[in-house]
Structure formats: C-alpha cells, structure tokens
Amino acid sequence: MSDKLKKIFNACNPNNPADEKYYTDCRKARGGDILARKVQARLDYIEHSYLRFLFTGHIGSGKSSELLHLGNLLKKDTNFFPVYVDVRDYVNLENVTLEEILLAIAVEISDAFQKDLNITLKNSYFEEKFGEVKNLLLTKRKFTKIEVSLFGLAKGEIQEIKQNDEAKRRLFEAIAKDNRSLLDELNLFISKAQLELAKSDSAFTKIVIMVDSLEKIQKFEANTNVIDSHKELFIERNDKLTGIEAHTIYTVPLSLYRSDASPKLLHYYGDVLPLPMVKIFHRGKFNSEYEEGCKAFKEILTKRLGEISLTEAFEDKALDFLVKYSGGNLRNLMLFIQEAIISSDELPINFKTARKSIQPTVRAYAASIKESAYPKLVALDENPKQQIDTEDDSFWTMLENLTVMEYANGDDTNSLDDSWYAVNPVVYEVGKFQTAKEEFQKSKRKSKK
C-alpha cells in the first residue's frame, strides 16, 4: 500500500477539529458573512436591551470558525468587544451544571480583558470561590510569563477543575452555601467590566459574549437523557441564559432547533440562525457549477493534502464529481475521499472509483428515506424556488440527516432571509427517487395534454 494513499486517508480525518492551518474562507460561497451580517445588523438597532442570538448548524459545518471570524470582525472596527467561550475547556460534557457555564464566562471575560486590553479585572467574589479549591489542584505549577493570574489562579489551573471531582464538589459547595447568587455576581462583574471598557482608551463600549459547544452537552444537571438536557438548559432555564447582562450568542443543537421546541426557542431568544451549506451549484440548477464554492473546497483539500498535489491524487473528472456530490458539505467530501481510498490501490483516484465511493452512502439513504417522502423530495427538486413546507415535520429529520440541504443566497441578493433547499445529490442516485421523478414528469406531461 502506498504511503501516499495512507497520507490522503488520514488527512481527511473527519474528527480533526477546525484547525487554523486548514482554514479557508468559504463565506462567499456560503452566502457571504452570514453570521456576522445578521449579528451586526441586530447590534446596530439594539440600544436598551441585550442581543440574544442562537447559532446552529451541522457538526463540522464551521460554526466555531464563523464565531471566531465574527470575533475578529468585531474587534477590528466596532465598539463591541468579543469574548469567546468554548465551554469544553471548563466542563465535562457528560455532566454539566449551569454554574460551570457561568464560571467559564467570567473566566474568559477576565482573560480576554487581560490579553487584548491589558486590563486586570479584580473580583473578590470569584477570587474567594476559586480560593476554596486552590490547594486541591494537582499541578501547583509556577506561572509562566504568559500565564497570568485570573481570580488568583492561572487559566490552565481553572480548566483543570473539570477533571478534579473533589475540587468541583468544593467549588459548588462554596457557591451554594453563599446567599449571593452566581448569576447576580456574574452580572455585577460584567457591569464592572463594561465600565472599565468605557474608561479605557479603546473604542469598545460593550461586551459580546459568544458561548460555543453548548450544543455538544450530553447531560445537563439532573436530566437523564440528552434531549431533556437540551430542553432544560435552553428552554426551562432560559431565564439564566437570557439573564446575562451583556450581548450573548449561544450555539444550540440542531436537533432542538428542528424539534417541536423551535417556537419556544424563537420566543425566548428572538433569533436562530442555522449555518447554510457551501453552494456548489446554482439555485435549482444542479448541473450549473457555482465556481466560488468548488474553488473553496478544492483549496481546503489542497491545504489538507499538504505535499501531495490535487492532480497527483485525483483525476480532474473524479474530483469534480466528488465535490459536486458533497452538496457543499465538507464532511461528505472527506468521507467520499476516504471511501475512495479504501477501495482503490492506486493514484490518481479515477472517475470509476469516485462513483463507487458514494455507493455505500447512496444505499444508506435508500434505506432511510420513507416511502412517503419521495414525492415530497421530487416536488422540492422540481420547485424552481427550491422551497420546502417548513410546517411539515418530516423535513426536520431529513434536514438533520442531510437528506435535504439548506443553502443561503446571501450576497447575491439583499435579503437576509433568502434561504433555499435542495435534495442531497446522493439521493439522485437512489432508484426509488428516480422512479418517483419519472412518475412526476409523466403526470406533468399528461396534465399538459
């Protein structure tokens, strides 16, 4: 087996987290700076209240990259000071409490002020609470130059608490026995921070907190399953998440957004944005390539493959095929390449192998699509506006498992809400879809007569 095959296979690891060095700007192809434009448009109008904004999307679709990008934009030329919180650094996803999320926010605010603005925020409440566990942390490391003290501990030390059951217990006890509420204290701390912001010589006046990875929580407080956990955190306890006195953006699970809880989410938070796919073809024209999108995908691939060039790895026709059938989902593209490598002994990957590589996925969809869904899928495919009946629950599952994909027109038009849908290209290969399509066209011809 050639080393190169192995390298390509491993370079397409779908578990690789969003790595900066592979980062490619897909925004234009996705419909522009969709998150940033929406958030900024809202921020511009808000004067006496706080922004509440939910952000969702498929795993690996690039939510974190979009959030980080938004942060950079805000930092560059707005009055809004971004604080990015990845809760994974502070919680064990299999067992999360609200306290941990609030603490994580406080720590990241403190850290961002220190790093970006060189402002040290003091707070006796948090210092006292973290002081309770100081002696329990295993690595009593000396602070290095960059590791400054936040509330009396280094950031790295605070992040260790999540793995230290004893420290966690003591910290929670200390918070619980106090009459002061953690949320109130956090808000006081935020007020102080906003004040410092206004006093500083920077242009910033308001904090925007972006909390990432909330959608990955598996168990929240006393709940026994994931669905209840998500409902509890985002809906039952919405008063906590919406009670933070700063602009906030949270990531929310797609499954919750695509469930009957959706109206409630909109009610409490006002806005939910699902991240669209990268456009690979033009709206309603599967055979008309959207150059920007294809280019972006090939660029990502080039970066991932490193020293192996695209022409060395793929015949042109094969690569075009794989990109097209990914439907604008990067993970699908990676999957198809891996499937192709598993079935091939030589490079470049040829067209025949490329075609074969999508077959297992075709079969999986053929088995999963309900009989009753085919006419709906054909109707979507034949609809020049590429719209679905969003009231029809059966689309929730199909949007979630990517039978149907969501795109945004974005920069092409001035409308912000101009999303459209398409059948996953893989579904075109399913026999029953083809039959349903033929029947549709037959009946259309008949009615014309």
Partner 1 sequence: MEAKKSESENFDEEAEIRRLVRSISLSEKYFLFFASCNQLPKQKDLIKEVKKRLKGKKIEIVEFKEPIKSLLSELRTKIKNKKPDAVFVLGLRYSIPSAKRGKETSFIANLNVSRDSFPEFLECPMILFMPEYALTKLMNGAPDFFSVRSGIFFFENDENIMSRQISQAISLGYDEHNALLVEERRQRTENLKELLAEYQSLPENKRDFKTEFQLKDKLANIYWKTANFSEAERLRLELLQQIEINDDDEIARQFNELAGVYKAQGRYNEAIEKLEEALRIGEKTVGKEHPDYATRLSNLATVYDFQGRYDEAIEKYEEALRIGEKTVGKEHPDYAIRLSNLALVYHSQGRYDEAIEKYEEALRIGEKTIGKEHPDYAVLLNNLAGVYDSQGRYDEAIEKYQEALRIGEKIIGKEHPDYATRLNNLASVYEAQGNYQAALDLFEVALRINEKTLPENHPYTILLRKSVARCRAMLGK
| Closest CB to partner 1 among residues 253, 425 | 253
**How many residues sit close enough to partner 1 to count as binding (CB under 8 A)?**
52
Interface with partner 1 includes 224 (CB under 8 A)? Answer: yes
Interface with partner 1 includes 339 (CB under 8 A)? Answer: yes
Task: Report, in Å, the least distance between residue 353 CB and partner 1.
Answer: 12
Interface with partner 1 includes 308 (CB under 8 A)? Answer: no
The span from the CA of 426 to the CA of 138, in Å, is 51
Identify which of 335, 272, 333 has the alpha carbon closest to the alpha carbon of residue 53.
272
Interface with partner 1 includes 391 (CB under 8 A)? Answer: no
| Closest CB to partner 1 among residues 215, 406 | 215
Query: CB under 8 A: which stretch of 67-75, 223-231, 298-306, 380-388 binds partner 1?
Result: 223-231
Task: Report, in Å, the least distance between residue 257 CB and partner 1.
Answer: 13
Task: Report, in Å, the least distance between residue 249 CB and partner 1.
Answer: 20
Interface with partner 1 includes 394 (CB under 8 A)? Answer: no
The span from the CA of 402 to the CA of 97, in Å, is 31
Interface with partner 1 includes 226 (CB under 8 A)? Answer: yes
The span from the CA of 315 to the CA of 28, in Å, is 26
Task: Report, in Å, the least distance between residue 253 CB and partner 1.
Answer: 8
Largest CA distance in the chain: 85
**Among 110, 123, 248, 338, interactor with partner 1 by CB under 8 A:** 338
**Among 163, 205, 311, 359, interactor with partner 1 by CB under 8 A:** 359
Tokens 């966690």 label which residue?
Answer: 168
Interface with partner 1 includes 373 (CB under 8 A)? Answer: no
Q: x-or-dash pattern for partner 1, window 71-90, by CB under 8 A? A: --------------------
Interface with partner 1 includes 447 (CB under 8 A)? Answer: no
Q: x-or-dash pattern for partner 1, window 168-207, by CB under 8 A? A: ----------------------------------------
Binding site for partner 1 (CB under 8 A): 1, 5-6, 9-10, 12-15, 58-60, 93-94, 215-218, 224-227, 253-255, 331-332, 335, 338-339, 341-343, 356, 359-364, 366-368, 371, 397, 400-402, 430-431, 434-435
